[in-house]
Structures are given as C-alpha cells and as structure tokens.
Amino acid sequence: MDIFRIEGPVQLSGVVNINGSKNASLPIMAAAILAAGESVIKAVPYLSDISIFSQLLGQLGCRITRSPNGDLCIDSRVIDNPVGEYEIVRRMRASICILGPLLARYGRAEVSMPGGCAIGDRPIDIHLQGLRELGAKVHLKNGYIVAETPNGLTGCDIFMGGPFGSTVLGTANVLMASTLAKGKTIIESAACEPEIVDLANCLTRMGAKIDGIGSPRLIVEGVKELQPAEYQVIPDRIEAGTFMVAAAITAGQLRLLDCRLDDMMAVVDRLRNIGVTVEVADGGCVVARRGSIKPADITTLPFPGFPTDLQAQFMALLSIGEGNSVVIEKVFPDRFMHVAELNRMAANLRREGPTVIVAGVKKLIAAPVMASDLRASAALVLAGLVAEGTTVVNRVYHIDRGYERIEERLNLVGAKIFRESAESMAGGLTSKISERVEK
Ligand code: EPU
C-alpha cells in the first residue's frame, strides 16, 4: 500500500490536461457487451477502476486490449460466462452496470450483490425494479442477483426516481437493457448527468434509438441488434473540478485543457461566489485566486446541481475560508468520512446529520491522515497542498481508482508530493524504535 508525503504549503501554477471521464468510461465499456464485435473506446483513462472493470469483462469472455495509441478495444464476440463474480464486484460497485446489457443480449445474468461502502448504503433496488418492469425475473441466490428473461425484454413506462432523486448507474442499466427490448420504453426521472448523456450518445452511435437525451425523460425505441462502434468519452468533470480546487486552495493559477465548463455550471458558480476567477480559454479554462476565500453554502444534488463527487474537495477549500460555510449532502447523506480527517489537520468542521458547518480557520496544519474513499482522499491531498508541514496520506490506492498519476501531474505545476510504500515508512519507524531501544 502506498502513501503520499506532501510538503506544504505550495502555490500551484501551470497547465493541466484533463483526462477522459472514469464514470463515463465504465458504463460505455459495459455497453460493448450489447453488440457482438470489437468496440473501440477512446480517451479511457489509465486507472485501477478501469483495470478492474476490464478484468470483469474478461471473466465474461470478452477480449480487452489497449492499442499503442491508448484506445481501449473490447471484443465481445464471445461471452460464455455471464457472471459478475463477488471477488470483482466487492472491489468496485460500478460492476453492477453489466447487469442490464447482459440481460438484453443473453437473457440471463448473475451478478454479485454489491455490499455497503464508505460513502453510504448504496442500494440497487431501483435498478432491479426497472429491469423487472422490462420483464426480467430477478431473485437473490447466495449473495448473487440472478436475472432472467424467459420471454425477452419488453418496452414499458418506468419511473426511476428514488428517495435521493435519480440514479446514475440505475439509469445506465435500464437504458442499456431497453435498447434491445421489444417496443417503446419511457424512462421517467432518468439521471441527466453528462456521463449518462455520453452513454446515450454512444448507444446511438451503436444504432440505438433514443430521444430526450440529457432530459429526465428518455424515450427508447427498441431495435433488434446493435453494432460495435468507435467512441470517444467526454473529459472528466470531477477531475477538472478537483484541479480547479487545487488552483483555488493554493491561491494559484491553473489552465485546464480539455475541460467542458458546460458540464460544470454549478461548480463554476460556487467557485465564483467564493472569490475564485474562472475564465473560458481555448479548449478549457483558467482558474485563479488572488483574494481571500469567501464563505459559501453548498448543497449537493443530482445534475445539474452541485455534484456530490466534489463535496469533499470543496469542504477542504472552504475550511480555510473567511467565515462560516454550510455544506449539505443530499445525494449520499453519509458521505463525510473526510470530516474527521480534515479536523485532524486543524480544520473546524462540525457535522449535524447530512450537514456540515465549516468554520473557516487561518491555516491547516499537516498531520498523518487516512483516505477512506476516492473523493475523500482527493480532499486530503488538496488540504495537504496548503497545510503547514508534511502531511502523510495513507491508503492512496483509493485515489488511484479515479485520478491518473495525480501526484506527478500536481508536481508538474508546483506541488511537492512523494509516493512511498507504506512498508518503507513502517520500516523506517521500526528502525527508529529499535535505535531508541538500543540507546
Ligand atoms: N439509490 C437508491 N436506490 C438505487 C440506486 C440509488 O436509493 O437503486 C440512491 C443512492 O443510495 C444515492 C442516490 O440514489 O443516495 C444516488 O445514487 P446513484 O445510483 O446515482 O449513484 P451510482 O450510480 O451508484 C454514480 C457514480 C458515483 C456518484 C454518483 C452520484 C459511477 C461509477 N459512480 O454512482 O461516483 O457519486 O453516481 O452522482 O458513475 C465517484 O466517482 O467517486 C463516485 C462515487
């Protein structure tokens, strides 16, 4: 297990390329199951989540290769084992989005039921309800969801709203299944996230008939078969937002290339409110902060609201703001593992249910901290950039799931982050202790 040693404070300045979106790539990789043949997906980032998903598709029978130019090629001609094994699903919940495409193409799928995770309970009841309404028989057996379509899938009207709004991967699952269902499907309260728009655009390229893309009502006219396609995923808006906060928290200036501000209006609005400038520049934007950070209220919501995947990073930023801010989490009300860790770095955060009151402090102070999930670890790295002293972030494998070589990219614009193996740190500690014992 690696750790990050971060020397702070630093001020960032320079240019950063934003990679392809992880959360768009995963369902688009699953969509390759729908069409027998070789799909080519461009701009898929090099991340551990992508490797795990490739392993999952490999277990089904697909052949996955990276061409020298980085394209991800998925040959789904042979799928002879429509099973999502526990060993993979327990490592990555997004594995659930093979369920819809497997059902649509094979009429049968078994996928391990995802368990809890660091950001909350994360049930999948709405996914299963939607697939049942399309005609699937679904039951649970030894921890596996077993879904079958004895009579094929048939289009229908499906309402996909839940207690926390729409569901992103639930919409992906039902949308993919409905492309090959008989007749027309209306998906009401569909997720409108840019990653779902990207999936729908990719499915359309494959021959699916989908109206209302980007709206909460998707209308799908089922077709007999889909063809493999070549498709380029959108840039990662969450990675872009994280680098925006990196510029803001260090009072620096970053130019982000390949960044779609259209997908980030709520984020840009909050940044400007806080006193950060965000200017459109060729192919991206320039983000900078000169004055102090003003307090702000942030409520996470499904798109086009403020994304839950940037809540932790903004909390790190607001923690050195000038006054009191309020952060309300309405998508994953328990997604606050970073709160206690940021407090270890001298932030002043108080949680009350799904709300955190952020009392701004003058400075953060370095400490050893523990990453608990992908976005929480990003928040700790951001805090480490401005904390006084050496911050050690443990369990950085969480951050490798969603940010490609983040330390190298931040170091290129002025950060001082060192990746070390936890063993070498522990080894160092053991030798210090034995030295002391000898003395
Ligand atoms: N929900 C239900 N029932 C369901 C499905 C969801 O009650 O059947 C609830 C969830 O518990 C949650 C809310 O609905 O309270 C929204 O969950 P959603 O299903 O939209 O989340 P997801 O599809 O599992 C994706 C992203 C997450 C991101 C969320 C919200 C991927 C691979 N994951 O998860 O990304 O936070 O949408 O935008 O696309 C991340 O990248 O760090 C990450 C966690």
- Tell me: the pLDDT tens digits for 150-182? 889 999 999 999 999 999 999 999 999 999 999
Atom of ligand 1 nearest to the CA of 332: 15
Atom of ligand 1 nearest to the CA of 128: 8
Say what the pLDDT of residue 425 is. 60
Residue of 187, 199, 185 lying closest to 229 (CA atoms): 199
Distance CA 168, CA 262 (A): 19
Tell me which residue has its CA closest to atom 28 in ligand 1: 309
Edge-to-edge, what's the strand order for the sheet holding 417-421? 368-370, 389-394, 2-8, 417-421
Distance CA 372, CA 426 (A): 20
Say what the pLDDT of residue 310 is. 98
pLDDT reading at 374 higher than 50: yes
Instruction: Choose which residue among 26, 52, 53, 168 to substitute to test ligand 1 binding: the one with the highest number of ligand atoms within 8 A of its C-beta.
Output: 168
pLDDT reading at 282 higher than 50: yes
How much of the chain, in percent, has pLDDT values that exceed 70? 96
Which residue stretches of 229-276 are H helix? 237-249, 265-274
45 close to ligand 1 (CB < 6 Angstrom): no
Tell me which residue has its CA closest to atom 37 in ligand 1: 168
Active-site pick, 62, 117, 192, 202: 117
Q: Three-state SS for 380?
A: helix
Tell me which residue has its CA closest to atom 44 in ligand 1: 309
312 close to ligand 1 (CB < 6 Angstrom): no
30 close to ligand 1 (CB < 6 Angstrom): no
Instruction: Choose which residue among 96, 111, 113, 331 to substitute to test ligand 1 binding: the one with the highest number of ligand atoms within 8 A of its C-beta.
Output: 331
128 close to ligand 1 (CB < 6 Angstrom): no
Q: Three-state SS for 97?
A: helix
Q: Which two tokens stand for residue 203?
A: 């499915």
Say what the pLDDT of residue 424 is. 65
Say what the pLDDT of residue 117 is. 77
CA–centroid distance, residue 372 to ligand 1 (Å): 17
Distance CA 166, CA 193 (A): 10
State the pairing for strand pair 83-84/108-112. parallel
Mean pLDDT of 287-312: 98
Instruction: Choose which residue among 19, 22, 23, 404 to substitute to test ligand 1 binding: the one with the highest number of ligand atoms within 8 A of its C-beta.
Output: 23
Atom of ligand 1 nearest to the CA of 308: 36
Residue 117 known to be catalytic: yes
Say what the pLDDT of residue 273 is. 97
